[in-house]
């Protein structure tokens, strides 16, 4: 986008001319060149914007700017819209950064609370153990003292009096021990409950962030214009399919689809019409393709399909059916009925293939379909 911005800025600078007849001639040339540059910029920028994945709020702002960009053609307007696009992207990045920062701050605070609770619990346990040890030592001394009193006693009456006194003291100590243990157990239980609640909160925060990360990953694999998977998703899916195929071979097939003469639609009716055309085509392919097939927009007007259970005849029949469905769609631009067709190249993966050779073969088959007159399926 910075490169596009530089080109637009250069186009604006180059429009400065001299006076008189030469000025008018150069100015006309400059305007023609500027218009050409802007058309190229707008087309490339439209492709870039379709790959951006922003939040709902900023996506809407981006679409609004995009519509303005398609209407305005002066260099000043193009430069202004570039600046607006940069502002929207930066704002969304800042929003996402703030969200992540807030979560990490909250997570850090919760971890600190949990750590403090654990330390407090351990300290309480140590103090309780120390107190309990002291009580046990006291009990042991009282028992030894009682035994010594019995041995030293001169009469039975003296023994009774002494033992009763010692037993009362021991009973009091045991009562204190019981009360202390109950209080200690209750305190420990309360601390554990409090710590469990904090851990649960920590888990909930982590789950929320995991959902956000999963959503970001989903968006990164999603084509905003057509609602299909994008090229990154295709690369990942195709790579995984190839690994499974080489581990345990099955009917793995690849089809590359290109919309015939799509540039003419953009040039004649505008990029907005071109975008709507791609959306209709994508939706039709999604409805007509088999449930087990993977569908993605590879880029521009090109789509890719991955099949896992189709033999050659089944594959060709389905691709022909998709092509016929697209050709029969009632496209109408500016009261002109237009027939949209596809050139499709298909191939099955072999044991000697890797992801590059397989794709190149399917792509070559697609170009062969174009050479043979378009609107057809070629299988290699």
Q: What is the pLDDT of residues 170-229, one digit of tens each?
A: 677 777 777 777 777 777 777 777 777 777 777 777 777 777 766 666 666 778 788 888
Looking at the fold, whether 77 and 200 belong to one and the same domain comes out as yes
Residue 30 has pLDDT above 60, yes or no: no
Q: What are phi and psi of 17, to 5 degrees?
A: -130, 175
- Annotated catalytic residues are 301
User: What is the tally of structural domains in the chain?
Assistant: 2
Same domain, 156 and 130: yes
Same domain, residue pair 247 and 364: yes
Task: Tell whether 116 and 179 lie within a shared domain.
Answer: yes
C-alpha dist (Å) from residue 123 to 116, 126, 149: 10, 5, 39
Rounded Cα distance between 93 and 90, Å, is 5
Same domain, 199 and 236: no
Structural domain includes residue 333? yes
**350 inside domain:** yes
- Same domain, yes or no, for 236 and 215? no
Task: Give whichever of 74-78, 96-100, 198-202, 359-363 has the largest mean pLDDT.
Answer: 359-363
Better-scored residue on pLDDT, 218 or 282: 282
In a domain, 184, yes or no: yes
Question: pLDDT at position 343, please?
Answer: 93
Tell me which DSSP letter residue 230 carries: -
220, 243, 271 - which closes a domain? 220
Query: Does one domain contain both 184 and 243?
Result: no
Mark whether 58 and 195 lie in a shared domain.
yes
Whether 17 shows a pLDDT value over 70: the answer reads no
Considering the domain architecture, whether residues 267 and 146 belong to the same structural domain is answered as: no
Q: Which two structure tokens, joined as six digits, stand for 13?
A: 């600078």
User: Quick one: what percent of the chain has pLDDT higher than 70?
Assistant: 70
| Residues spanned by the domain of 108 | 52-220
- Which residues, including other chains, have CB under 8 Å from residue 320's CB and lie 6 or more apart? 377
How far apart (Å, rounded) are the C-alpha atoms in residues 35 and 55? Answer: 32
Co-location of 111 and 164 in the same domain:
yes
Flag whether 28 is in a domain: no
Answer with the residue of higher pLDDT: 47 or 20: 47
Is residue 253 in some structural domain?
yes
Asked if residue 123 and residue 258 are part of one domain, the reply reads no
CATH number, position 313: 3.30.70.270
Query: Does residue 237 sit in the same domain as residue 216?
Result: no
For residue 300, tell me if it sits in a domain.
yes
Predicted local distance difference test score (pLDDT) of residue 368: 93
Given a contact cutoff of 8 angstroms between Cβ atoms, the answer to whether 242 and 349 are in contact is: yes
């Amino acid at each position: 986008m910075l490169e596009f911005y530089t080109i637009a800025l250069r186009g604006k600078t180059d429009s400065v001319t001299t006076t008189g007849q030469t000025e008018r001639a150069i100015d006309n040339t400059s305007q023609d060149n500027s218009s050409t540059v802007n058309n190229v910029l707008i087309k490339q920028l439209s492709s870039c914007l379709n790959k951006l994945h922003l939040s709902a709020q900023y996506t809407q702002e981006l679409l609004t700017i995009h519509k303005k960009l398609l209407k305005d053609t002066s260099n000043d307007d193009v430069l202004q819209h570039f600046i607006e696009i940069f502002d929207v992207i930066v704002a969304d990045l800042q929003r996402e950064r703030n969200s992540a920062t807030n979560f990490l701050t909250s997570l850090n605070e919760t971890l600190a609370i949990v750590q403090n609770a654990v330390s407090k619990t351990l300290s309480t346990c140590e103090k309780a153990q120390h107190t309990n040890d002291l009580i046990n030592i006291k009990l042991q001394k009282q028992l030894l003292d009682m035994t010594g009193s019995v041995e030293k006693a001169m009469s039975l009456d003296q023994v009774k009096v002494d033992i009763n006194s010692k037993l009362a003291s021991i009973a009091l100590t045991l009562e204190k021990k019981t009360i202390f243990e109950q209080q200690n157990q209750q305190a420990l239980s309360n601390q554990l409950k409090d710590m469990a609640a904090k851990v649960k909160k920590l888990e909930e925060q982590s789950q929320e962030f995991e959902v956000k990360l999963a959503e970001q990953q989903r968006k990164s694999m999603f084509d905003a214009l057509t609602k299909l998977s994008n090229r990154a998703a295709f690369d990942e899916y195709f790579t995984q399919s190839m690994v499974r195929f080489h581990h345990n071979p099955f009917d793995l097939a690849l089809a590359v689809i290109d919309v015939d003469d799509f540039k003419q639609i953009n040039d004649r009716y505008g990029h907005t019409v071109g975008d709507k055309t791609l959306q209709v085509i994508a939706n039709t392919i999604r409805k007509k393709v088999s449930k087990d097939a993977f569908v993605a927009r590879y880029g521009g007007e090109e789509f890719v399909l991955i099949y896992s259970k189709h033999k050659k005849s089944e594959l060709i029949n389905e691709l022909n059916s998709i092509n016929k469905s697209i050709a029969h769609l009632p496209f109408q631009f500016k009261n002109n009925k237009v027939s949209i067709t596809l050139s499709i190249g298909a191939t099955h993966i072999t044991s000697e293939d890797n992801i590059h050779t397989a794709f190149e073969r399917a792509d070559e088959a697609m170009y062969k379909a174009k050479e043979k007159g378009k609107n057809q399926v070629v299988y290699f």
